[in-house]
């Protein structure tokens, strides 16, 4: 994808500008009202959602990351602010964490799915997939749900630093084949490493295109 210099620069400024914590929601009532265009980060537990939010915003501890899967248990809302631009980022709890109590998994998943499907201000969902694992069954389920709800999404491969070039090429090819069959998916695959800061400029610029002008 070709991006204009001005768009790259605006996205860089937006993501390195002010970033305010808005809410942490464990239930529907705690989800903030729809005031600003939103981008959500979804994916398996431990795939690197919180790390990506931190890397995109050049912050180490904005979103809490963890060695232990199941760290993010709430829907966490942050607002990026740069001059008249606003964009809300939503760090979602991961799915597929087998060790959490069954009841908890159920309630997190229900809340997350409810949020994903009923939020007009949600502009796109970054669906994160670990480069080493590729797309799994649960990811496919989420893709289907998003397609059905006509919620646009973009596939983001994470932890690309963990793979050799040929392995990465293979997983990129396989992933591209799958996303090409999904109508709600952005056609360009994003390949990232939060550790090495790879792929972040493209992703910031794409996500920055959803920022809202206030005033
Ligand atoms: N090598 C490498 N490790 C990463 C990268 N991104 C995240 N990690 C590691 O993966 C682990 C999980 O990262 P998190 O960002 O907490 O994952 P999460 O998806 O938010 O996890 P949950 O909140 O449990 O769903 C941590 O140990 C991170 O340091 C990356 O790009 N490269
Ligand atoms: Mg997390």
The residue range of the domain holding 86 is 5-213
What pLDDT score was predicted for residue 155?
98
Atom of ligand 1 nearest to the CA of 94: 25
Using 50, 70 and 90 to split pLDDT, how confident is the model at 81?
Answer: very high
Cα-to-centroid distance, 6 and ligand 2 (Å): 31
Query: Which SS3 state, helix, strand or coil, does residue 210 take?
Result: coil
d(CA 95, CA 119): 19
- Structural domains in the chain (count): 1
% pLDDT > 70, the chain? 88
CATH of the domain at 57: 3.40.50.300
The structure tokens 């537990």 sit at 45
Query: Which SS3 state, helix, strand or coil, does residue 193 take?
Result: strand
Question: 68: Cβ–Cβ under 8 A, 6 or more apart, which residues?
Answer: 46
What pLDDT score was predicted for residue 52?
96
pLDDT tens-digit series, residues 91-140: 998 887 655 555 555 555 788 888 998 899 999 999 999 999 999 988 88
Question: Residues 96, 127: contact at Cβ < 8 Å?
Answer: no
Instruction: Give the per-residue SS3 of 80-116.
Output: EEECCEEEEEEECCCECCCCCCHHHHHHHHHHHHHHH
Query: Which SS3 state, helix, strand or coil, does residue 195 take?
Result: coil
Cα-to-centroid distance, 147 and ligand 1 (Å): 26
Cα-to-centroid distance, 59 and ligand 1 (Å): 14
Q: Is 72 in the pocket of ligand 1 (CB under 6 A)?
A: yes
Cα-to-centroid distance, 214 and ligand 1 (Å): 33
Question: 14: Cβ–Cβ under 8 A, 6 or more apart, which residues?
Answer: 80, 82, 85, 87, 204, 208, 211
Nearest CA to ligand 1 atom 3: 159
Q: Is 67 in the pocket of ligand 1 (CB under 6 A)?
A: yes
- 41 membership: H or E segment, kind and range: strand 38-43
What pLDDT score was predicted for residue 85?
95
CA end-to-end span of the chain, whole Å?
A: 30
Is residue 112 left, alpha or beta, with left meaning phi > 0 and alpha meaning psi from -120 to 50? alpha
């Amino acid at each position: 994808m070709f991006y204009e210099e001005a768009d790259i620069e605006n996205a860089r400024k937006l993501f390195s500008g002010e970033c305010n914590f808005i809410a942490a929601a464990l239930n529907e009532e705690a989800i903030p009202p729809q005031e600003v265009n939103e981008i959500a980060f979804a994916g398996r537990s431990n795939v690197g959602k919180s790390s990506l939010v931190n890397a995109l915003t050049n912050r180490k501890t904005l979103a809490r990351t963890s060695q232990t899967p199941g760290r993010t248990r709430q829907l966490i809302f942050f607002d990026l602010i740069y001059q008249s631009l606003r964009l809300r980022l939503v760090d979602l709890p991961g799915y597929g964490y087998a060790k959490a109590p069954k009841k908890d998994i159920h309630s997190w998943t229900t809340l997350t799915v409810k949020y994903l499907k009923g939020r007009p201000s949600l502009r796109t969902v970054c669906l994160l997939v670990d480069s080493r694992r590729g797309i799994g069954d649960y990811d496919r389920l989420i893709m289907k749900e998003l397609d059905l709800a006509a919620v646009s999404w973009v596939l983001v491969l994470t932890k690309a630093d963990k793979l050799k070039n040929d392995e990465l090429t293979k997983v990129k090819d396989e992933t591209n084949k799958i996303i090409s069959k999904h109508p709600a998916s952005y056609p360009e695959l994003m390949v990232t490493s939060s550790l090495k800061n790879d792929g972040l400029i493209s992703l910031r610029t794409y996500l920055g295109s959803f920022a809202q002008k206030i005033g």
